[in-house]
């Protein structure tokens, strides 16, 4: 069975600095999708970025980018120029052939002004 691990329960970063959130996963599949979701105090889970496993190029969405290392089964999220509005829980998720999202336990990101 697939698993997703987020080893950092909490991270903090100074406003305008860069922070990297880690995520590792375990799977025997070769074709799958990976996602990062953000959940602010408003509780709505918001898609931040997604990566298709067959694409070698790392996905980028404005200040958010990923470092996808397929062989190492690692999918970290880098947030550049951190803003106060980035404070939230961040969840890494895997989606494979059974179409179910497998979630990590989350990382709480604190932005220091």
Partner 1 sequence: ETGVTQTPRHLVMGMTNKKSLKCEQHLGHNAMYWYKQSAKKPLELMFVYNFKEQTENNSVPSRFSPECPNSSHLFLHLHTLQPEDSALYLCASSQGQSSNQPQHFGDGTRLSIL
Chain contacts with partner 1 (rule: CB under 8 A): 4, 9, 31-33, 35, 37, 42-47, 50, 52, 91, 95-97, 99-106
Task: Quote the tokens at residue 103.
Answer: 């979630």
Closer residue to partner 1 in complex, CB, 25/82: 25
Q: What whole-number distance in Å separates Cα of residue 38 and Cα of residue 14?
A: 18
CB of 100 to partner 1, least distance (A): 6
Task: Quote the tokens at residue 8.
Answer: 């950092």
Q: Residue 99 gets which letter from DSSP?
A: -
CB of 98 to partner 1, least distance (A): 9
Closer residue to partner 1 in complex, CB, 33/65: 33
Cα first-last separation, the chain: 41
């Amino acid at each position: 069975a697939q698993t997703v691990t987020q080893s950092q329960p909490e991270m903090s970063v100074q406003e305008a600095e860069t922070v990297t959130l880690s995520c590792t996963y375990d799977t025997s599949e070769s074709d799958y999708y990976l996602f990062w979701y953000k959940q602010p105090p408003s509780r709505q889970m918001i898609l931040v970025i997604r990566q298709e496993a067959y694409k070698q190029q790392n996905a980028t969405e404005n200040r958010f980018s990923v470092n996808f290392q397929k062989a190492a089964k690692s999918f970290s999220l880098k947030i550049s120029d951190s803003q106060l509005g980035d404070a939230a829980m961040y969840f890494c998720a895997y989606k494979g052939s059974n179409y179910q999202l497998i979630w990590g336990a989350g990382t709480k990101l604190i932005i220091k002004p």
